[in-house]
Chains A and B, each alone.
Chain A
Amino acid sequence: MNPLQLCLILSSLLFAVGLAAALARTHAILVLLGVELMLNAANLNFIAFWRYGPPASPADGIMFVVFSIAVAAAEAAVGLALIIAVYRHQKNIRLQEANRLKG
């Protein structure tokens, strides 16, 4: 097994942990954090292929990850703002009870 496969397996396992959290937990913040874990697993893949993949332009993998981190940060900010808005309307952020969008 070469190091590229090890890195990819690590990121697959991290993705699975994030997926399990996003599906199993009912607390909105934990679901959002599970999605963040999945995004981080994708970034691990970019770096693994940049490091061990076939030679390409040396900065490409890093550019992918930098843009991906920027978009993930925007997503986290908007997601947490939505959670606070839902909490203000319903005084609860369990996903089963947050089943209507009109406040």
Chain B
Amino acid sequence: MIAFAVIALLILASASLAMCLRNLVHSVLLLVANWAGIAVFYLWAGAEFVAFAQLLVYVGAVSMLSLFAVLLTRRSFHDLDIIPESVSRATWALLTAGAVAGVLIGTILGSPFGNVTEAAPAVSMRQLGEELAGTHVAGLLVVGIILTVALLGGVVIASKDKEDKS
């Protein structure tokens, strides 16, 4: 339980700090810590495959993508500090998020979950591969198509028009 408390603290503290900062690069770097913390949670829960997928996809790829987007969309060196938001907007957002969290946690605490299974489900890498290429092969193909289309779409959207010389 102490390990869980440390992981939860790491995840929540890095996420909330990242969303409060003014400097975008610092925010993205803190979110890298947050995603690594989530990978540690997966390891703690016994899902090693998902933990390393999380490390590869989020800590490796999405963080680099976000950093590139941050650095490509600033006008000068000092443009990283963003303008503060209005107080009413922040207040309403916090109220809404607090209400959602309250409803969710109230429901969770009030639900009869019964006895939890104590032993982690044992699943080998070989079993995962056979499921992925056997039972879920249609899903795997669809994900491949989605990733290809998203990649092409991203390139088309972000690329410059030919007549646009500026």
Contact = CB atoms under 8 A, between A and B. Distances in A.
A62 B50 contact: yes
The majority secondary structure among interface residues of chain B is helix
Interface string B42-84: 1001110110011001100110011011101101000000110
A14 to B, nearest CB: 6
Interface residues of A, number: 72
B12 A63 contact: no
A85 B42 CA distance: 35
Interface in A45-103: 47-48, 50-55, 58-59, 61-63, 65-67, 69-78, 80-85, 87-88, 91, 93-94
B147 to A, nearest CB: 5
Contact of B104 (A15, A30, A62, A75): A15
B69 A77 contact: no
A58 B126 CA distance: 13
Contacts of A2: 113, 115-116
A15 B100 contact: yes
B102 to A, nearest CB: 9
B116 A52 contact: yes
26 contacts: A3-B116, A5-B109, A10-B12, A16-B100, A18-B15, A19-B96, A21-B19, A21-B93, A23-B93, A23-B96, A26-B85, A37-B31, A47-B42, A47-B45, A51-B45, A52-B117, A59-B131, A62-B49, A69-B53, A69-B58, A72-B57, A74-B151, A78-B153, A83-B73, A88-B164, A91-B75
